[in-house]
Amino acid sequence: MPPISYMNLKAPEGEKDILLHTCCAPCSSAIIECMMANGLRPLVFYFNPNIYPLEEYEIRKAECTRHARSLGLTIVDGDYSHAEWLNEMRGMEDEPERGRRCLKCFKLRLCASARYAMENGYKVFTTTLASSRWKSPEQINEAGRYAASCYPGTVFWEQNWRKGGLSERRRQLLEEHRFYNQRYCGCEFSMRSLSLHVKEI
């Protein structure tokens, strides 16, 4: 196989150590590889209390852990508090995907990322959420900027993780590593949306 050619990456303010909030191994694999090829070292931060059920959460965490450790990277488990997440989403259960509930979910998860970054000496944080074509980049960037404003000294790295060949490389790594590949965002509400979509088809 010819060598992989990645886009040039430069983190904000020239930082080399980056906190990378990750949602799953398929979404993070190409991003991590690209970061490392550019001399950056991500700390993998797995904080996803939205994921339902617990078994799904554990499978995704295990895949992220397997991949991070194979690369010699540190992965941090941000803990699972789905009941608290549900309480935060109360009143928005019937919101459509990419609606108010998604934005609030992004803010919650990225605020936790920014807080961990601040408390552990990381200035720059970013997220693999922006690599998914099912997510709104505008919402993710809004949530990231909000999180950074809540934790002075942190900077949210707004990067389009779908470009520069990363989407294609993601598909290749998915096959190479045989990652578990989920079919829904993670929460029970996105699961319901998928079920309704399948029935309509």
For residues 148-160, average pLDDT: 97
Asked if the model's pLDDT at residue 201 lies above 90, the reply is: no
For residues 113-139, average pLDDT: 94
Residue 197: its pLDDT value, please?
A: 37
Contact call for residues 25 and 44 (beta carbons, < 8 A): no
For residues 41-64, average pLDDT: 97
Asked if the model's pLDDT at residue 39 lies above 80, the reply is: yes
For residues 165-173, average pLDDT: 92
DSSP letters for 138-199: HHHHHHHHHHHHHSTT-EE----TTTTTHHHHHHHHHHHHT----SS-SSHHHHHHHHHHHH
- 161-189 CB burial, b ≥16 within 10 A, e <16: bbebebeebbeebbeeeebeebebbbbeb
Residue 196: its pLDDT value, please?
A: 41
Residue 198: its pLDDT value, please?
A: 32
Which pLDDT band holds residue 194 (cuts at 50, 70, 90)? low
For residues 80-94, average pLDDT: 96
Domains, the chain: 15-200 (3.40.50.620)
Taking alpha carbons only, the member of 153, 108, 171, 160 closest to residue 135 is: 160
Give this prediction's pTM. Answer: 0.92
Contact call for residues 18 and 41 (beta carbons, < 8 A): yes
Residue 129: its pLDDT value, please?
A: 95
Please give the Cα distance from 60 to 127 (Å, whole number).
Answer: 16
Please measure the distance between the N-terminal and C-terminal CA atoms of the chain and give it in whole angstroms. 39
User: Would you state the structure tokens that stand for residue 40, as one six-digit string?
Assistant: 């950056």
